[in-house]
A = this chain, B = another copy of it.
Amino acid sequence: MLESRSPITVRYAETDMMGIVYHGNYLPWFEVGRTTLLKECGLPYKDLEAQGYRLPVIELGTKFFKPALYDDTVTVITRLKERPLLRIHLEYEVRRGEELLVTGFTTHAFINMTGEPVRPPAFFTETMRALFK
């Protein structure tokens, strides 16, 4: 299993009139989490795009246990539990210290620049094979 941790400090812009982080604003945090994880794997998402691949979200889910508040520093923990084949399935936890606030997942498919589903590039597959050995 691969895991990465990304600290995030809550912006005022991310709160809503309930006084807490708007539920939709956790999704960019998950994105920060997987950007970090892919970078730590030596597979920056920016490079994947530069080589003609994109990884759109095809499914996601989120559960909200406790709200994050303005100026909190939280940690997004991102986990890749299984070696990705055609799809990438990532799991997320948002924690404030040890306290669990939110969990979620995203599933991604590889597409090319014209939007057609494609197999992941060889360098991606090889790197993942090595990391999951």
Contact = CB atoms under 8 A, between A and B. Distances in A.
A31 interface: yes
A64 interface: yes
Interface stretch (A14-22, A84-92, A93-101, A117-125): A14-22
Given A16-B16, A63-B58, A71-B46, A27 B28 contact: no
Central interface residue in A13, A14, A57, A58, by most chain B CB within 10 Å: A13
A100 to B, nearest CB: 14
Contacts of A17: 12, 15-20, 70
Given A28-B13, A31-B12, A35-B12, A20 B60 contact: no
A59 interface: yes
Nearest to A61: B61
A59 B70 contact: no
A83 interface: no
A87 to B, nearest CB: 13
Interface of A: 9, 11-20, 22-25, 27-28, 31-32, 35, 44-46, 54, 56-64, 67, 70-71, 115
